[in-house]
Amino acid sequence: MLPINVRRAVLLLGDLVAGVLITVAYLTFAELDGTDGLPAFSGPPWLGWLVAAAVGLPLAARRIRPRTVLAAVTAATATATLLDLTREPYVAVAFALYLVALREPVRWSVSLLAATLLVSTAGVYLGEAVLTPSGSVADAMPTIGLVWLVVGAGWVVGVVTRHRRARADQAAHRERERDKQQIQAAERLRIAREMHDIVSHHLSLIAVQAGIANHVAEEHPAEAREALRVIETTSRGALTEMRGMLGVLRVDPERAATTRKPAPGLAGLSELADRAAAAGVTVELDVTTVGTPPPPGVQLATYRIVQEALTNVVKHAAPAHCAVRVVAGDGLMTVDVTDDGVRPARNGSGGHGLIGMRERVTMYGGDLTAGPCPDAGFTVSARIPYLSRENA
């Protein structure tokens, strides 16, 4: 689709061409000698040129001054009829009236249509039945009817085009509103996932460390102080992340992507491992990236999957040993988190954590499996495809 400025220039050029063609047509009419059975123009040549220019050339400005152009063209065409120059049914007037119907308010449009039909009727009647009595009033009526038909058609086409464009604008507005609502819903869902992961992870670590501190407070005060230090550090980290998320909520969701902090990625996995280790889970972390690093969204999904998996180990299986293996390459992110902890029996297929992990993976067209190991422990495996720059 052409830019607006280019389209406007093309339309103005088209109006100029139409105006020149109509002017040339009227100059031709001024040269006719009456052999077509209609009265011939008998005035001086300069007058014919002037009237021809007045009928056609104003059309070049019809998009700039539609009402002024309509008045000028209507008056010039009626004058041409009185001078026996007219051989067409007021096409120039129809062209001018089209823009009036398209651009002007309905009240102005209808009033100008009525005035145009009145002036056109008067011009045809006086030209055919009074000044050049080539026929009776009844003979002039078909010509008047044809002029009304052509002029009225120009106005009707303008009105129809106006309503069609208004409906198209309304449809486009509704589409924009739907897109905005979808963006807002997607951003709210993203925030909900982030909030769940942040709160669940940090509070789980805090709960574990608080239990340790309470258990060893009397006999091992140094360990209790270390647990309290971890609680303090974890709490501050949670508050920092929560403030960031709440700051996003205070702005327009459509602007959230440009205002929030960079999302955590593969570089933050070692910090997750350290936090889990502080809560009694020994983490063996192996991160391998082949070629170009995966997109930030895939890295964030991987980070949250590992975070949720470690959180579940801390909550349900600590103390335990956990192996985290992450491999990114050839357009595929592979995540495997396996622990050897003993979990209490649970009913159901999992809480919001597993649902959130599955949603993140599904969003990229991947798959996730999670379940107990044959001997002991639990495994979370995710496969997330992505389009790397090397494969693009």
Helix pair 45-56, 4-31: axis angle to 10 deg: 150
Write down all domains in the chain, each with its CATH number in brackets.
Answer: 4-176 (no CATH), 279-392 (3.30.565.10)
Split at pLDDT 50, 70, 90, the class of 333 is very high
> Could you tell me the pTM of the whole model?
0.56
Q: Considering all CA atoms of the chain, what is the largest pairwise distance in Å, rounded to the nearest integer?
A: 127
Split at pLDDT 50, 70, 90, the class of 250 is low
Q: Which of 93-107, 241-255, 356-370 has the lowest mean pLDDT?
A: 241-255
Q: Average pLDDT for residues 194-208, to the nearest whole number?
A: 67
Q: Where are the alpha helices (DSSP H) in 83-136?
A: 91-103, 106-125
Identify any residues that bridge with 310 across adjacent strands, giving them in sequence order.
Answer: none
Residue 141 CB contacts under 8 Å (≥ 6 apart), including other chains? none
Q: Average pLDDT for residues 177-205, to the nearest whole number?
A: 70
- 51 burial class (0-12, 13-18, 19+ CB within 10 angstroms)? buried
Measured in whole angstroms, how far is the alpha carbon of residue 159 from the centre of its chain?
28
Please state whether 331 falls in left (phi above 0), alpha (psi between -120 and 50) or beta: left
Please state whether 320 falls in left (phi above 0), alpha (psi between -120 and 50) or beta: beta
Q: What is the structure's pLDDT at 200?
A: 64
Q: What is the structure's pLDDT at 207?
A: 72
Which has more confidence, 41 or 99?
A: 99
Q: Average pLDDT for residues 253-280, to the nearest whole number?
A: 74
Q: Is residue 185 predicted with pLDDT exceeding 70?
A: yes
Q: CA 210 to CA 227: how far, in whole Å? A: 7
pLDDT tens digits, one per residue of 54-107: 999 999 999 999 999 999 999 999 999 999 888 889 999 999 999 999 999 989
Q: What is the structure's pLDDT at 190?
A: 67
Q: What is the structure's pLDDT at 161?
A: 94
Q: CA 189 to CA 121: how far, in whole Å? A: 67
Are residues 57 and 99 in contact, defined by beta-carbon separation less than 8 angstroms? no
Q: CA 223 to CA 218: how far, in whole Å? A: 10
Which has more confidence, 240 or 317?
A: 317
User: Which of 39, 29, 46 minimizes the C-alpha distance to 131?
Assistant: 39
Q: Is residue 348 predicted with pLDDT exceeding 50?
A: no
